[in-house]
A = this chain, B = another copy of it.
Amino acid sequence: MPKISKRAQEMPASPVRKLVPYALKAKERGIKVYHLNIGQPDIETPQTAIDALKNIDLKVLEYALSEGNLEYRTALRDYYHRLGFTDLTTNNFIVTNGGSEALNFALSTLCDDGDEVIIPEPYYANYNGFTNALNVNVVAIPSTIDSGFALPPMEEFEKKITAKTKAIIICNPGNPTGYLYTREELQKLADIALKHDIVIISDEVYREYVYDGKQQVSIFDFPELAEHAIIIDSESKRYSMCGARIGCLITRSKRIHDAAMLFAQARLSPVLLGQIAAAAAHENDTAYIMSVREEYTKRRNLLVDLLNGIPGVICPKPKGAFYCGVELPIDDSDKFAQWLLEKYSHHNETVMVAPMSGFYSNPELGKKQVRIAYVLKEEDLRRSVELLNDALQKYRAEFNL
């Protein structure tokens, strides 16, 4: 038998994806599964995007430019100008197959084998997958649910910096915690990055979905980081078009841009069709974004209230994105999540959650936590929490908790 690489043997299974086979089996048994496990909103994609596809007038679905076609990069530039970053040109953008590929390019550009990136935990679980595939080590900065996942003092980041540290990765607003970085925190991070000559990779794919009248502060709000900042962006969450696989890597640094372009050229082209859909989605999107933000606000408020009403459940109120990190009165969230799909149902319905063990560098820390995405409409969220409450009682009884 040929050997499987160490790289593959050490790949963490995606906590969001590894349960999918169980969900498919549950569906085969006729059970309806409420998907709270993945950031796949039920929100409709903007009609402008769908219409752009319906109206495509192409005879040949050609390769796009490796950096993305000019038309779409122009739409991105205009969008960033509206965000206030009027110095950016179409040359600052590299269009990627989802934010995933942008992160892969960023890590490939900065990190060699055995290098380190610092990430506040809990963090988006697939960061482990991307770093592992490149033999890059994650050094975690802990935050805990008791303090609503508030970050430790920024100085903690500095303590973790070694000669091998190449970047700090933040997700702002955060997946899975909904944490929103303050300007002061980001300023301190910027100072640290400059002092130690490392890069801040800022995953800002949820920037539109920030609540309670607050606004996201971007890493690009710190012009002193011109050579030290990369934004990972994506249209997936903004426009509920995760399947279009359109993201981008943005940097003011020509050095980083040009190096990242080598990886972009090797894979030839990002996807063409998604660029067409996304460029259209950017047109007159204000009403769309506002109504989606309002919808998520309602869902968040409902979900957090309902969850905190269940005995033993702790759910801090997230400030942005569309996830809650939730502590449950259970022994093992991986086991519980699988049990929900394999053993539990009520009126032929069950609920799927993402165990949070995979969102920590030390899985033990997430053993009682799950991530719940508020991507379903209120009625479905209500039913999901009802199921979760009922399931928790049965699970605790079955395992004598």
Which residues of A are at the interface with B, using a C-beta cutoff of 8 A? Answer: 1-9, 11-14, 16-18, 20, 38, 40-45, 49-50, 53-56, 58-66, 97-98, 100-101, 104, 108-113, 115, 126, 129-130, 133-135, 166, 197-199, 227-228, 240-245, 255-256, 259-260, 262-263, 265-274, 277
Which B residues are in CB contact (< 8 Å) with A44?
59-60
Please state if A243 and B271 are interface contacts (CB–CB under 8 Å): yes
Please state if B59 and A40 are interface contacts (CB–CB under 8 Å): no
Please state if B243 and A273 are interface contacts (CB–CB under 8 Å): yes
Whole-angstrom distance between the Cβ of A292 and the nearest chain B Cβ? 12
Which B residues are in CB contact (< 8 Å) with A269?
98, 242-243, 245
Of B54, B242, B267, which one neighbours A98 at CB under 8 angstroms? B267
Whole-angstrom distance between the Cβ of A255 and the nearest chain B Cβ? 6
**Which applies to chain A's interface (DSSP): helix, strand, loop or mixed?**
loop
Whole-angstrom distance between the Cβ of A51 and the nearest chain B Cβ? 10
Please state if B129 and A263 are interface contacts (CB–CB under 8 Å): yes
The answer to whether residues A97 and B61 also contact, given A56-B53, A259-B8 and a CB cut-off of 8 A, is no
Query: In the complex, what distance in Å separates the CA atom of A49 from the CA atom of B272?
Result: 14
Please state if A271 and B256 are interface contacts (CB–CB under 8 Å): no
Please state if A110 and B198 are interface contacts (CB–CB under 8 Å): no
Query: In the complex, what distance in Å separates the CA atom of A98 from the CA atom of B63?
Result: 11
Which B residues are in CB contact (< 8 Å) with A62?
40, 242-243
Chain B's closest residue to A11 (CB) is B262
The answer to whether residues A1 and B262 also contact, given A41-B60, A242-B63 and a CB cut-off of 8 A, is no
Q: Return the 8 tightest CB-CB contacts between A and B, nearest first.
A: A129-B266, A243-B272, A11-B262, A14-B265, A17-B265, A61-B241, A100-B267, A8-B259
Which B residues are in CB contact (< 8 Å) with A17?
66, 265, 268
Of B7, B198, B227, B271, which one neighbours A273 at CB under 8 angstroms? B271
Chain B's closest residue to A6 (CB) is B112
Please state if B110 and A197 are interface contacts (CB–CB under 8 Å): no
